[in-house]
Structure 1
Amino acid sequence: MPLFCDIALAERIERAEARLMAEACEAAHRRRGDGRGFVLPVAGGSASFAEPDSPFNKVAGLGFGGVPVLDEVEAAFAEHGSPVQVELSQLADPAVGEQLTTHGYRLVSFENVLGLALGPPRDRVTPDGVEVRRTDDVGLWLAVVADSFAEADSQGVASHEAFPRETIENAMRDFAAVGVRRYLALRNGQVAGGGGFRVTDGIAQLTGAATLPAHRRHGVQTALLSTRLADAEGCDLAVVTTQPGSKSQENVQRQGFDLLYTRAILIKDV
């Protein structure tokens, strides 16, 4: 049966997402050591600013802890010269969406959250010629993931944002600092891609999977996904976020993931 996502499950996933963003942002602050940036609690979620142009600059987890007062959050982003980006689940309290759209937030995009219920240990499935292994070589992992993200897959809805290579490397480095496990995929002996995952409150959060263009459409993503799921012992749920209609979404749905809900991405210039 498909995995059904009720409001309680969506809240659990959004809390885990907000926690990951907050902790990764704090890791960015430690890396920079310049006293800039912030992490603020807001209505059960979090607002965070890591550094200019960072993917961690956002408000996550809203809609399950009451209608937020965003004056302090907006002022904090304005102080750093950054717009406010809110990611809001379709299962959140509708009053939050109404508040945002009547206070100058504009809808710019969507992203999909997919999930898979985990039970007994899973087998690793790797196509011929593909090998996936964990790595402690952070530098190589960063390079592969950054190179892969630099040439986005053209299938599906394009992302509303693009990040410089240095920003991607910094974000992945900060993920590694907060417990994201790192994986490399090799195809015919050549490094072909990478990915990671972190466990938060029993949820395996699959992050940062990407394949170098020359190795796409050869099962690398399937192998990365299968290996990470096999290693997610003790978790009852795996979650991944994708662009709508993307190859990544197609790949994870082929592996049994169900579309749980969509996040609306809203932005306000302050």
Structure 2
Amino acid sequence: MANSTALAVRVERASAGNLVRLGRTIRSQDPTWGTQVFSVADGVAVLCGDGFFVNALFAAGLTEQVSANDLDQFEQRCAAMGLPSSIEISSATRPELARFLPKRGYETSGSVEAFTIEMDDAQITRVEFEVAQSGPNLTIESANEGLLGLWQETCAAAWGHTSVEARRASDTFAAAAAIVDGPGLLIARDESDGRPVATASVTIHDGVATLGGMSTLPAERRRGIQKALIAHRLGFARSMGCDLAYTTAVTGGDSARNLARHGFQHLHTKTTHVLKSSATGV
């Protein structure tokens, strides 16, 4: 991929920018979570709070060196919130940070694959055509206003958020996404009876459309719903003037293979590193 380093930096900064807006919105909507958003070198830490899946340092070490003092301060603030120190890096990260983390006691805890597609890619037209010809009969609507409650119910059911704590975090995150994403927060319903089947989102920042929030109810899977929601969001992104779409999928999972089939190009692998002592409480 031409100029892949510059593309990777652009994508990582856009992704981090989305998380900053989400974190700040959560902090504004419900201060009881104690959400913190702060800079670390050239990156940003978004610590939404215990129970959220966004609690890490993002986009650090892209253009500047991350010092030991930077990490000291980050780790201290994580500890004060009772959170493990977690750092996300990618191929766009300066190599010295990747080499330094294991020496400091960080261990790899997981990875996702980053994919992109350009808005003028002919593959988008192909996917849209295939969905129009043989896709599931869906009504896809913005859920940032009157349908937010239905979005929250559907997402929680799809992900299995059954406990009070998990549901509170899930609903809080969705309410923040409704503000950040606006009409890009989407719910899909079956046209035959109006029942909800899936949720999705598209977040726009600096011309990059980030596809996220994808969850499908277990009974509705393998109907082509994901493909239909991808096509819808790409069309939305194009109408908003974006030139690039970006998304991630768990390494080795079905979603990663589906994205490749739909024309997305693999950009890089993103790995999460957790400080061992903070993760174990030692």
- Cα pair distance change 1:39/1:174, threshold 3 Å: same
2:223 corresponds to 1:218: yes
2:148 corresponds to 1:138: yes
- Please list every run of at least 4 consecutive aligned residues from structure 1 whose deviation after the TM superposition is greater than 4 angstroms: 120-124
Contact 2:49 2:83 in 1 (8 A): no
* Larger fraction in helix: 2
TM-superposed CA distance for 1:139, in Å, is 0.8
Q: TM-score under structure 1 normalisation?
A: 0.88
Q: Looking at CA atoms only, which structure, 1 or 2, has the larger radius of gyration?
A: 2
Give runs of aligned pairs for residues 185-264 of structure 1, distance below 5 A. Answer: 185-187=188-190, 188-189=192-193, 190-233=195-238, 234-264=241-271
Uncovered stretches (5+) of structure 2, i.e. residues with no partner: none
Corresponding residue of 1:24: 22
Distance (Å, rounded) in 2 between the aligned partners of 1:165 and 1:252 = 29
TM-superposed CA distance for 1:179, in Å, is 2.5
SS in 1 for 2:139: strand
TM-superposed CA distance for 1:5, in Å, is 6.0
SS in 2 for 1:232: helix
Distance (Å, rounded) in 2 between the aligned partners of 1:238 and 1:96 = 27
Corresponding residue of 1:149: 159
2:129 corresponds to 1:129: no
* Coordinate RMSD, CA, aligned: 2.0
Distance (Å, rounded) in 1 between the aligned partners of 2:255 and 2:158 = 13
Q: Deviations over 1:49-71 (max 9, x none)?
A: 11212122111112212221211
2:43 corresponds to 1:45: yes
TM-superposed CA distance for 1:241, in Å, is 1.0
Distance (Å, rounded) in 2 between the aligned partners of 1:244 and 1:34 = 34
TM-superposed CA distance for 1:35, in Å, is 8.0
User: Identity rate of aligned residues, in percent?
Assistant: 26
Which range is displaced more, 177-186 or 78-87?
177-186
Distance (Å, rounded) in 2 between the aligned partners of 1:237 and 1:84 = 31
- Cα pair distance change 1:34/1:145, threshold 3 Å: closer
Contact 1:15 1:44 in 2 (8 A): no
Distance (Å, rounded) in 2 between the aligned partners of 1:108 and 1:149 = 20
Uncovered stretches (5+) of structure 1, i.e. residues with no partner: 152-162
Contact 1:108 1:266 in 2 (8 A): yes
Distance (Å, rounded) in 1 between the aligned partners of 2:95 and 2:59 = 14
How many residue pairs align between the two structures? 257
TM-superposed CA distance for 1:75, in Å, is 0.7
Letter in 2 for 1:232: A
Contact 1:132 1:185 in 2 (8 A): yes
- Cα pair distance change 1:238/1:74, threshold 3 Å: same
